[in-house]
Amino acid sequence: MVKNHLYEQIEKIFLPYYSEEMKRIEENNIRFSHYTSAEAGLKIIQSNKMLLRNSKVMNDFSEGHYGWECLSRAYNGPSGERLKTTLRKIQNDLPQQLEDSLNSQYKDILDETYLMSVSEHDEGHEDEFGRLSMWRAYAPKDGVALIMNNGPFLNENNALNAFSFPVLYTTPDKFLDFFQEIVTEIEKNINFLENNFNCEGVFHILNLVFRSIVQSTKHPAFQEEKEWRVIHSPTLLQTDEKEEQLRRVPTEILEIGGVPQRVYAIPFRDYPEETLVGVTLPHLLDRLLIGPSQHSHVIAQAFIAELTRLKVPNPEEKVIITGIPLRT
């Protein structure tokens, strides 16, 4: 993955944790998994798209609120005061502009964040059996896990206006250290920021960074999930961008688990003209695991047939029955 030097510098200043995690995933070629029911998994394959659902229907009832509280506490504390002092060197009212903007987005962040959750997938044991805790939580009976190559998740462009973020598992106290690291980097690089960006540019970057932090911070009890998120915020689009984005990431109303809801969809399609490649199923799908089930062979046959239809190479080798004897 080739990065623009300026972009790389911005990333290291404003999201050092994100930068380190992206590097770790790339260097170790860590793949991602999506655990779901066989029924939902088949719909993904047949429709040739992944759904982004509203964060309010996720399994963490504090979704969004927790990240907001962590950020608010840090911003209103000593490190936040250091940040405000530094930002005033760029423009005196920049801190106030940032606060007003984030406060006005509070409801939007909670109500209009759409995401897809994936989990880091380790080679070896998980290649053969998956992760037992994930089967129990998301696919305890007749479930599957789609194991995906990491290329599209590491591709940092805005072709789809959907971006990958590692979930930050932290307590409010430890979040203060995370926030302080960002503040320290901004202080160290204030001359770089002043020379390369105007007030509007720094405001825009910090606004997106803080919003992303809120959308991807969770209670540490969820840490074993090793979650990453593909996040889409449709309300941030400018009017002249919406038509094209809705064509690329269409929306519809579906009933899922008895709950009518708006979803957005990312088709398995490449945009080579914008350097987004590796998204089609033949390139994206590394393997598909069949979880605990009395009907493993029947489920496997169905997925092999569908993958064959979509011209995914060697489907018989990609579909793996785990044989986990989990009581369901």
Question: What six digits make up the tokens of 32?
Answer: 């991602």
Q: Is the pLDDT of residue 238 over 80?
A: no
pLDDT band at residue 86 using 50, 70 and 90 as cut-offs: very high
Q: What are 136-175's pLDDT values in tens digits?
A: 999 999 999 999 999 999 987 788 889 999 999 999 999 9
Mean pLDDT estimate for the chain: 92
- Is the Cβ–Cβ distance between 215 and 110 less than 8 Å? no
What pTM does this model have?
A: 0.92
Mean pLDDT (whole number) for 112-125 = 94
Q: Tell me what pLDDT residue 240 has.
A: 61
Give residue-wise pLDDT tens across range 203-223.
Answer: 999 999 999 999 999 999 999
Which carries the bigger pLDDT value, residue 126 or residue 8?
126
d(CA 61, CA 54): 12
Task: State the pairing for strand pair 162-166/227-232.
Answer: antiparallel
Q: What is the pLDDT of residues 32-62, one digit of tens each?
A: 999 999 999 999 999 999 999 999 888 766 7
pLDDT, residue 1, reads 41
User: Widest CA span of the chain, in angstroms?
Assistant: 66
SS3 308: helix
Residue 2, pLDDT score: 41
Domain ranges within the chain, ordered by starting residue:
5-321
